[in-house]
Each structure stands twice: as structure tokens, then as C-alpha cells.
Amino acid sequence: AQKVTQAQTEISVVEKEDVTLDCVYETRDTTYYLFWYKQPPSGELVFLIRRNSFDEQNEISGRYSWNFQKSTSSFNFTITASQVVDSAVYFCALSESWYSSASKIIFGSGTRLSIRP
């Protein structure tokens, strides 16, 4: 069965600090997708990144970076030089991929990130 674990319920750091959000997943499939979404206080869910199981290259987008390691079934998210606007709940998610259909996404429990000025 699929499962996504975000062990960090809440994290609080001071602005400009770097912070890493952990995500560990379980799946029996060899083909799957991993996602990160951000949910600011307004409530909308903002898509941040998608990785497929065959692409283990780390990715950097501005202050955001993602470290995908299949050996440890982890897909961690790092924010460098955090800002108050980064305060939100962050969800890691997993979907198993069948070639011809968009699949059900399983969400982790989320990590609430608070950036203090």
C-alpha cells in the first residue's frame, strides 16, 4: 500500500535560516510520481514540484531545492534563506502511475512551517 510520512508536524525557524522538510514514502510500484504542495493560510493548494521515479536528479528553483533518494525512499525539500512568506503548511504526496490514467494522489499529513521575523 502507498504511504507518505512527514514526521515533522511543525517547524519554526528565524527568517534567513535554511530549513529542510522531510518526506518518506512507501510504494510497491516501480513507476510513481512524487509531489510537493504548499498551502498558505489562505487555504489554496499551490503545486511546487513533481518528480517521477526514474529521475533522481536533484532540482533547484530559486531558494527551493529538492533531494530525491530512492535508496532511502525520501524526497526532502529545502528552503534556503527562509522568508516570512514561506510560512505555510507543506504537503508531500505520491501517486502511482498507470500509463493511461491520472492516478489517485496520496498526501502526507503535512508540515506546518513558521518563519519568525
Partner 1 sequence: SAVISQKPSRDICQRGTSLTIQCQVDSQVTMMFWYRQQPGQSLTLIATANQGSEATYESGFVIDKFPISRPNLTFSTLTVSNMSPEDSSIYLCSVARDSSEETQYFGPGTRLLVL
Among 7, 45, 81, 84, binds partner 1 (CB under 8 A): 45
Beta bridge partners of 56: none
Among 2, 5, 87, 103, binds partner 1 (CB under 8 A): 103
Among 47, 63, 84, 116, binds partner 1 (CB under 8 A): 47
Task: Indicate the pairing of strand 10-14 with strand 105-107.
Answer: unpaired
State the Cα–Cα distance between residues 42 and 51, nearest whole angstrom.
26
Among 1, 28, 43, 117, binds partner 1 (CB under 8 A): 43
99 near partner 1 (CB under 8 A): yes
Are 21 and 5 in contact by the 8 Å Cβ rule? The answer is no
77 near partner 1 (CB under 8 A): no
> Count of residues binding partner 1 (CB under 8 A)?
25
Q: Across the chain, which distance is largest between two alpha carbons, in Å?
A: 47
